[in-house]
Structure 1
Amino acid sequence: MTTLALTHTDDRSWHGIILVILSAFAFSTAGFFTRLIEVDVWIMLFWRGLFGAAFIAGWVIWQHGAGSLAALRRVGWLGLVAAGCSTAATICFIHALRETTVADVLVINATAPFITAGLAWAWTGVRERWSTLIASGGALIGVAVTVIPAIGAGRLWGNFLALLMTVLISAMMVLIRRQRAVDMLPASALSALLCAVVVLPWADPAAAVTATGWTFVNLALFGICQFGLGLLLLTVGTRLISATRSALIGALETPLAPVLVWLAFGEVPALATCLGGAIVLAAVFGDVLITREQGASKSWAPSKGSRSSPR
């Protein structure tokens, strides 16, 4: 019975890991879209939030049907706080991308595992395994390698916004993990909608509709493929693994985003950014491999009350 329980837990963990990896791929396209879409940042935030909310809400309705409103009520006040954190983080994120380089924003975001572990321990008393904490420290070193050269380069405001975004996202993941018995996707849909509502006084949505070319189509893709899909995968995946591990795996977007922007627009990352991204990448994969080895050793351990090892 113990072996079966471990196997089931390991399966859920790996499902969570895969979902968060996919969310990192989705989120890594943010820099690409912000460079591609030439509209005011408030307009971008409005349509990104609206399309993202519609995508996640559609998923919730497909999943819960007539019980969708009841599912929204079940998220409780913690779900509303998580939605507020996500909304504020989104606004900081897009503004940070306009104030500093994509590489700096994503590498600063790599501090998320460290911040998440601290918040989770302070609030819930949950202590992360040493391998993940060490990997988080490695990611933090990668951040330092990238950010220190930017001091005095006129990008500090953008870097501050990126750090604030990271703290808010870390808090959101701790809340989702704490409420893992509840489907938090309705809260994610609400956070995306709130983003559109909050920025509406500063936005001119009609300007994007009347813009020439593919602007409106790209805004829809930005909201659905990057924001909506990324947030959906992160929300579901974080329910299956620890908040710290989710934040650590999510740091994969750090090396992915600058590469995509470089290939599409020729924005070559600085050497320090490349080195910092490589350190983050090594930390993430190191933690995933260690988790896999530990899971394999547990699955082959003798079960309680058995006379032989499981086959």
Structure 2
Amino acid sequence: MSIEGSMPAAYAPRHIGVALVTASAILWSSAGYFTRAVPLDIAALLFWRGLFGALASLAFILALEGRNTWRSFRAMGWIGLGFCLLSSLGMACFVASLRLTSVAHVSIIYATVPFVGAGLAWLVMRERASVAVLVASFFAVAGVALTVAGGSAQGSLIGDVLALAMTILVAAFVVMRRRFPDVPLVPAACLSALVPALISAPLMSSWPTDGREVAMLVAFGVSNMGLALVCFTIGAKFIPAAQTALIGALETPLAPLWVWLAFGEAPGMAALAGGGMVLLAVIGSMVWEGRASTAKGC
């Protein structure tokens, strides 16, 4: 029995999905801290993060599948490879953007993923976004525009564009996860951690210099890539795409917080104002949707 097949989406409690996706958002919010804490080039960060993340994911699969591990990889098929491609590209853009622009810019741009996901879900599955999501989208986009336009001294255009590309890619694989709930994608998550490492290996120009940096890279890969991606991949199967993306946006206030506490990289006024608009839009949409679901008896 496969990792995900043992928990059919139709019967799995929704709170399991909510807990797992929340855990992934908290783990992913630490990326800015690690990219600041380890003074290596982007290619080296991608390599070590991907390598240790893939090993952590593989250990998880081996623990649950045992001798059926290879079969679980084969079962993911072309859908799994597509998920792997989207995830790999998204994570590469994510790490690169954290080095090229401020953590606040990356987090706030990423916070629009619920609304990008809602648009893609309508295009792919004809799922209509609610009025609450549409209203929240307007305020979220306004918040992003305020952040990028008013805080240009803190960020960079290339970094912001990479953050936007990452946002679109994440929304795409959230929708793909919901579109194909029966395809086992945890093995694909393992491969999506390994691919950036293999691509980045020839481009590395620096290596860890002491045990502390090695420990930080292990923690970065295991927590931020391995555990986070496994939690997200499993949890996203059990809750709607819009809700998955909304919970993921909780990373927005956390990512700049860790960097500010550790390195004193305080967000500017434009980032604070824009981030506040995005965060209020996300929370307001979540509360509205939660009340609507309760009223319908969901």
Shared fold (TM-score greater than 0.5)?
yes
Report the CA distance between 1:109 and its aligned residue: 1.0
1:61 and 2:59 matched: no
Alignment of 1:250-261 (within 5 A): 250-261=248-259
Residue aligning to 2:3: none
The CA distance in 2 between the partners of 1:81 and 1:26, in whole Å, is 24
**Alpha carbons of 1:80 and 1:33: their partners in 2 closer, same or farther (altered >3 Å)?**
same
1:119-168 residue CA offsets vs partner (Å, 9 max, x unmatched): 12112222233333433433323222211224577711111111111111
| Pair 1:102-2:103 in alignment | yes
- Which whole-Å CA distance do the structure 2 matches of 1:73 and 1:233 have between them? 21
Give the C-alpha shift of residue 214 in structure 1.
Answer: 0.2
Q: Tell me the residue number matched to 2:176.
A: 175
What is the CA–CA distance in structure 1 between the aligned matches of 2:154 and 2:210, rounded to whole Å? 35
CA contact (8 A) 2:151 2:271 kept: no
Instruction: Give the C-alpha shift of residue 275 in structure 1.
Output: 1.7
Segments of structure 1 that go 5 or more residues without pairing to the other structure are 1-7, 301-311
Q: Tell me the residue number matched to 1:142.
A: 143
The structure with more radius of gyration: 1
Per the alignment, residue 18 of structure 1 pairs with 19
Partner of 2:288: 290
Which residue identity lines up with residue 144 of structure 1 in the other structure?
A
How many correspondences in the alignment? 290
Q: What letter is aligned with 1:221?
A: A
1:102-128 residue CA offsets vs partner (Å, 9 max, x unmatched): 110111112212221121211222223
- Asked whether the equivalents of residues 251 and 280 of structure 1 are also in contact (C-alpha less than 8 Å), the reply is no
Q: Partner of 2:189 in structure 1?
A: 188
Question: Are the equivalent residues in 2 in contact too, given 1:150–1:156 (CA < 8 A)?
Answer: no
Where does residue 247 of structure 1 map in the other structure? Answer: 245
Q: Alpha-carbon deviation of 1:254? A: 1.2
Residue segments in structure 2 that go unaligned for 5+ positions in a row: 1-8
1:264: which partner in 2? 262
Q: 1:163 corresponds to which residue? A: 164
- The residue type equivalent to 1:291 in the other structure is E
Residue 21 of structure 1, CA deviation: 1.8
Query: Secondary structure at the residue paired with 1:218?
Result: helix
How many angstroms apart in 2 are the aligned matches of 1:139 and 1:20? Answer: 21
Matching residue of 2:133: 132
Partner residue, 1:42: 43
Match of 1:227 in 2: 225
CA contact (8 A) 1:114 1:136 kept: yes
Task: Describe the shift of the 1:20–1:142 C-alpha distance in structure 2 as closer, same or farther (beyond 3 A).
Answer: farther
Deviation at 1:172, TM superposition (A): 1.3
Given that residues 79 and 175 in structure 1 are in contact (C-alpha distance below 8 angstroms), is that contact kept between their aligned partners in structure 2? no
The equivalent of 1:307 in structure 2 is none
Identity of aligned residues (%): 41
In the alignment, is residue 81 of structure 1 matched against residue 79 of structure 2? no
Letter in structure 1 aligned against 2:172:
A
Q: TM-score, normalised by structure 1?
A: 0.86
Alpha-carbon distance between aligned partners in 2 of 1:183 and 1:227, rounded to the nearest angstrom: 18
Counterpart CA distance in 1 for 2:176 and 2:216 is: 32
Q: Encode CA deviations 1:191-249: one digit per residue, 9 max, x unaligned.
A: 001111111111258x22xx124000000000011121211121112111222221222
Any conservation in 1 of the 2:115–2:133 contact (CA below 8 Å)?
no
**Which letter maps to 2:89?**
A
3-state DSSP of counterpart to 1:299 = coil
Q: Which residue identity does 1:286 align to in structure 2? A: G
- C-alpha contact (below 8 Å) 2:72/2:184 kept by paired residues: yes
Q: d(CA) in 2 for partners of 1:174 and 1:251?
A: 15
